[in-house]
């Protein structure tokens, strides 16, 4: 008799189809949910394969038992996470096993009864679908209204809103004004403190001055340094740095 290659055992389960070793690989890589795997089906597949042989392949059986036991332990841990592992003596373990098997047998029997019942009700045809539309609810009672009040409310809403103020637009000086100014200062002194240079300007003018400074930085005409956030900004020309 040739040995049974456990790793090549072909499996056709609900959750997996392929050789046994691929299933193990997927389980170890967490790419297959072990709780979805019916270990009993794997055992049946192996037993069927073994039954085809003339003699018992002890080596293969041993290998299979070890692998399936490991699978079962992993599956039990995933199915019942966080549960305490209670050491039972053999008698208690046998009782618990028997009770669990009995409970499952009852479930299987109940499922069998339902299956028979369903087969017997194969001639049962009835209407299914959403219920008809419910009757319309009584309209909400609103106290009597004066049409004049509604008209007045609409008139208030229909008044033309005041035009938005654009005054601040006229106070924006051109960026070019500060470009020229900073270039002139740099040509005279080679460096200046930005904060001191714009101290007397309005907030809008300071913002435009800062834009001009960024433009100069972008063009490589100045080097900017600041020791820490909110510290004075020091500006100097690259040649004098």
Partner 1 sequence: MQPDLRLIENPLDRLARVLEGVLVVASRPLSLDELAEAAGEDPERVETALGLLAGRFREGRSGIVLEQVAGGWAFRAAREAAGACGRLFDRPVARGLSAAAMETLAVIAYLGPVSRPEIARLRGVAADSAVAGLVERGLVAEAGRAGEGGAVHYETTPLFERVFGLAGREELPDLDDVGADAGEIRARLESIAERRGA
- Candidates 41, 40, 42, 3; CA nearest to 21 is 42
Q: Does 77 bind partner 1 (CB under 8 A)?
A: no
150-182: b or e for each residue (b if 16 or more CB lie within 10 Å)?
Answer: eeeeeeeeeeeeeeeeeeeeeeeeebeebbeeb
* 80 binds partner 1 per the rule CB under 8 A: yes
Binding piece for partner 1, criterion CB under 8 A, among 17-25, 33-41, 43-51, 52-60:
33-41
Q: How far apart are CA 238 and CA 185, in angstroms?
A: 14
108 vs 189, beta carbon nearer partner 1: 108
Residue 33 is a binding residue for partner 1 (CB under 8 A): yes
Rule CB under 8 A: choose which of 70, 107, 153, 204 binds partner 1.
Answer: 107
Q: What's the min distance (Å) between Cβ of 99 and partner 1?
A: 4
Region from 20-28, 63-71, 109-117, 229-237 binding partner 1, contact rule CB under 8 A: 109-117
36 in contact with partner 1 (CB under 8 A): yes
- The region of 2-10, 90-98, 193-201, 220-228 touching partner 1 under the rule CB under 8 A is 90-98
Helix (H, G, I), strand (E, B) or coil at 21: helix
Binding of partner 1 by 115 (CB under 8 A): yes
Spell out the residues 6+ positions from residue 6 whose beta carbon is closer than 8 angstroms to its own: 20, 46, 60, 63, 64, 67
Residue 65 binds partner 1, judged by CB under 8 A = no
State the alpha helices, DSSP H only, in 54-170: 58-79, 90-120, 147-158, 167-170
Tell me how far the alpha carbon of residue 139 is from its chain's centroid: 45
10, 99, 174, 180: residue in contact with partner 1 (rule CB under 8 A): 99
* Binding site residues, partner 1, CB under 8 A: 14, 33, 35-38, 40, 79-80, 94-95, 97-99, 101-115, 117-118, 120-132
């Amino acid at each position: 008799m040739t040995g049974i290659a456990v790793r090549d055992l072909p499996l056709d389960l609900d959750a997996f189809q392929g050789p046994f070793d691929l299933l193990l690989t997927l389980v170890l890589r967490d790419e297959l949910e072990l709780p979805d795997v019916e270990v009993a089906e794997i055992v049946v597949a192996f037993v069927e394969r073994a039954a085809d042989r003339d003699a018992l392949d002890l080596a293969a059986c041993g290998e299979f038992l070890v692998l399936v036991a490991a699978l079962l332990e992993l599956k039990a841990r995933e199915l019942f996470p966080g549960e305490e592992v209670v050491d039972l003596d053999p008698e208690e373990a046998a009782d618990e096993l028997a009770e669990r098997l009995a409970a499952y047998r009852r479930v299987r029997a109940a499922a069998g009864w339902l299956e028979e019942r369903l087969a017997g009700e194969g001639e049962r045809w009835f209407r299914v679908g959403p219920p008809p539309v419910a009757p319309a609810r009584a309209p909400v009672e609103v106290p009597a209204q004066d049409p004049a009040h509604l008209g007045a409310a609409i008139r208030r809403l229909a008044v033309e809103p005041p035009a938005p103020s654009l005054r601040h637009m006229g106070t924006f000086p051109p960026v070019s004004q500060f470009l020229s100014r900073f270039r002139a200062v740099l040509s005279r002194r080679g460096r200046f403190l930005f904060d001191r240079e714009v101290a007397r300007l309005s907030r809008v003018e300071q913002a435009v001055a800062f834009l001009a400074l960024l433009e100069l930085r972008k063009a490589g005409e100045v080097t900017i340094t600041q020791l820490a956030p909110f510290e004075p900004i020091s500006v100097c020309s690259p040649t004098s740095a």
